[in-house]
C-alpha cells in the first residue's frame, strides 16, 4: 500500500481534501486496508470518524427494504399506493407554466418497491429537473418530511424510464410504515447491531458519542484551491428532523465497510443469500436502461462514475451495476455508488473484493477526488492479484 498511502497522504497535505478514511478487503486474505489520513492543521481523521455519507445512505436503506420483503411484509412488485399515498397521487408531468403550475396526466403503471430501489419509479429530484425545480420554487410549505420534500409529479410512467431520485427516501418511509419503527431504530436493530457497528445514526444530537466523532464538511472557494473546513456552513442534512433514507445518515467508514464486506462474503448477517443475489442482478427494462445511460453520460456523472465506452451498465436493487466486461478492473456484477461529499463504495463478488472511500468535501463530482478514488480502487484490485 506504500504508493497509495503516499498518494493519499499527499492529497490531504496539499489540501486536495481535508482528510480521508479507506477500508478494503478481499475474500482471499491478500488485501486488508484500514487507514485514516489527517491534515497537519485541521480536524484529525480516525477509522471511526463520523461523516455525512449523503447518497451512500441509499445502500443501507435498500438493505432495510429488502429485509422487510424477507419478513413477508411487502413484495417487490405489489402496488404501494395505499402505503405511499402522497407519491401515488402524483400524475405524470407534461409541462410547467411560468408560475410553477404543473400540467399532469394520470399515472397508469403501479409504483412498486422494485422500481423504487432501481430508480425507475418515475420520481425525480427537483434540483436535477428544471420542471420540478420550477414547481418546488413556488411551494412555500415546510420540507421537514419525505412527503413535504418530495411530493412532486412523476417524470415518467413507472418502469418506463429512469431518473436519479428520492425513491430511496420513499423506500425508507415504507420501512417505517410497515415496521412501526423509525428508519433509524430499524437500522440499528436489524443492520448495525448484527454487524457490530455502532457509529451510524440519522439523529446525531441524540448520540453524543457519535456526534463527538463527526468531522466537519470542507469546501473549495475555487475549483483549483484547497479544501477548507467550514463547520458552520449548512450541509445536506442541516435541519433534518426525520429520517431521509436517500441522504440523511451519518456514519463511519468502518460501519459502512462492515455492511459491504458482509454482502461480499455472503455471511447472512443482514440478508439471506438469495436476497443478496438480487443486489447483483440487473433490474431495468430496456427503456429505463436507456434513460439511465443518458444520465450517466452527463458531465457530473462521468466524473463520479467513469466507465470506458462499451462497458455495459444497469442498475440493481442496491446501486449502479456493471453489466458486462471490458473495464480495466471491475468485473460483471460489480455494484457501487457514492455520496455527494466525494464518498464511494464498491462490491465486486466476481473478483472477491470490496472497499469504501470516505471524505467530507462538497461540492460533488470533484475531478481531483475522483482520481484518488480511482487510484484506491485500482490498488485494491492490484493487491488482490485481480488486474489483468
Output the CA–CA distances (angstroms, integers) from residue 298 to 292, 305, 306, 327, in the order listed: 10, 10, 11, 19
pLDDT of residue 388: 67
Question: What is the percent of the chain with per-residue pLDDT over 90, rounded to a whole number?
Answer: 87
CA distance 208 to 196: 19
Q: What confidence tier does 207 reach under pLDDT thresholds 50, 70, 90?
A: very high
- The per-residue pLDDT for range 292-305, each reduced to its tens digit, is 999 988 887 887 77
Burial class (CB in 10 A: 0-12, 13-18, 19+), 164: buried
Residue 234 pLDDT > 90: no
- The per-residue pLDDT for range 240-270, each reduced to its tens digit, is 889 999 999 999 999 999 999 999 999 999 9
- The per-residue pLDDT for range 59-102, each reduced to its tens digit, is 999 999 999 999 999 999 999 999 999 999 999 999 999 999 99
Contact 192, 198 (CB under 8 A): yes
Parts of the chain belonging to CATH 3.40.710.10 = 2-57+198-383
pLDDT of residue 299: 84
**Residues tagged active-site:** 55, 58, 164
Residue 2 pLDDT > 80: no
Residue 148 pLDDT > 60: yes
Residue 1 pLDDT > 60: no
Residue 13 pLDDT > 60: yes
The whole-number average pLDDT for the span 19-32 is: 97
**Helical (H) or strand (E) element with 295:** helix 286-296
The whole-number average pLDDT for the span 134-153 is: 90
Q: Which residues contact 209 (CB under 8 A, 6 or more apart)?
A: none
pLDDT of residue 245: 98
Q: Which residues contact 385 (CB under 8 A, 6 or more apart)?
A: 30
pLDDT of residue 240: 84
Average pLDDT, the chain: 95
pLDDT of residue 297: 86
Phi, psi of 254 (to 5 degrees): -65, -45
- The per-residue pLDDT for range 365-374, each reduced to its tens digit, is 899 999 999 9
pLDDT of residue 22: 98
CA distance 359 to 20: 5
Residue 326 pLDDT > 90: no
pLDDT of residue 309: 65
Contact 246, 128 (CB under 8 A): no
pLDDT of residue 211: 96
**Residues 326-332: contacts with CB within 8 Å, 24+ apart?**
328/378, 328/387, 328/388, 329/377, 329/378, 329/381, 329/386, 329/387, 329/388
pLDDT of residue 289: 95
Name the β-bridge partners of 250.
52, 201
- Give the CATH fold of the 2-57+198-383 domain: Beta-lactamase (3.40.710)
Amino acid at each position: 500500500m506504500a504508493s497509495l498511502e503516499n498518494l493519499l497522504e499527499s492529497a490531504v497535505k496539499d489540501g486536495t481534501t481535508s482528510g480521508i478514511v479507506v477500508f478494503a478487503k478481499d475474500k482471499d486474505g491478500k488485501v486488508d486496508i484500514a487507514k485514516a489520513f489527517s491534515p497537519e492543521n485541521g480536524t484529525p481523521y480516525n477509522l471511526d470518524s463520523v461523516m455525512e455519507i449523503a447518497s451512500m445512505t441509499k445502500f443501507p436503506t435498500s438493505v432495510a427494504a429488502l429485509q422487510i420483503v424477507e419478513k413477508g411484509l411487502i413484495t417487490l412488485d405489489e402496488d404501494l399506493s395505499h402505503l405511499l399515498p402522497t407519491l401515488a397521487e402524483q400524475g405524470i408531468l407534461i409541462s410547467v407554466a411560468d408560475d410553477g403550475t404543473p400540467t399532469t396526466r394520470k399515472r397508469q403503471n403501479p409504483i412498486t418497491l422494485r422500481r423504487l430501489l432501481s430508480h425507475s419509479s418515475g420520481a425525480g429530484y427537483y434540483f436535477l429537473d428544471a420542471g420540478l425545480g420550477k414547481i418546488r420554487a413556488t411551494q412555500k410549505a415546510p420540507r421537514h418530511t419525505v412527503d413535504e420534500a418530495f411530493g412532486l409529479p412523476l417524470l415518467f410512467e413507472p418502469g418506463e424510464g429512469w431518473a436519479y431520485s428520492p425513491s430511496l427516501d420513499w423506500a425508507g418511509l415504507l420501512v417505517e410504515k410497515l415496521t412501526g419503527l423509525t428508519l433509524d431504530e430499524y437500522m440499528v436493530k436489524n443492520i448495525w447491531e448484527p454487524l457490530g457497528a455502532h457509529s451510524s445514526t440519522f439523529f446525531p444530537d441524540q448520540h453524543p458519542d457519535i456526534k463527538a466523532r463527526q468531522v466537519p464538511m470542507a469546501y473549495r472557494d475555487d475549483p483549483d484551491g484547497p479544501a477548507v473546513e467550514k463547520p458552520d456552513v449548512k450541509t445536506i442534512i442541516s435541519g433534518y428532523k426525520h429520517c431521509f433514507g436517500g441522504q440523511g445518515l451519518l456514519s463511519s467508514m468502518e460501519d459502512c465497510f462492515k455492511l459491504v464486506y458482509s454482502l461480499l462474503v455472503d455471511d447472512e448477517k443482514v440478508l439471506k443469500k438469495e436476497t443478496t443475489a438480487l443486489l447483483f442482478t440487473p433490474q431495468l427494462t430496456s427503456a429505463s436502461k436507456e434513460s439511465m445511460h443518458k444520465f450517466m453520460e452527463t458531465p457530473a456523472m462521468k466524473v463520479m462514475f467513469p466507465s470506458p465506452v462499451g462497458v455495459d451498465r444497469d442498475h440493481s436493487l442496491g446501486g449502479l451495476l456493471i453489466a458486462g466486461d471490458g473495464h480495466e478492473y471491475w468485473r460483471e456484477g460489480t455494484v457501487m455508488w457514492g455520496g455527494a461529499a466525494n464518498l464511494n463504495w464498491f462490491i465486486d463478488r466476481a473478483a472477491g473484493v470490496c472497499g469504501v472511500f470516505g471524505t467530507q468535501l462538497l461540492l460533488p463530482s470533484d475531478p481531483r477526488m475522483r482520481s484518488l478514488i480511482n487510484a484506491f480502487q485500482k490498488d485494491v484490485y492490484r493487491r488482490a492479484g485481480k488486474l489483468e
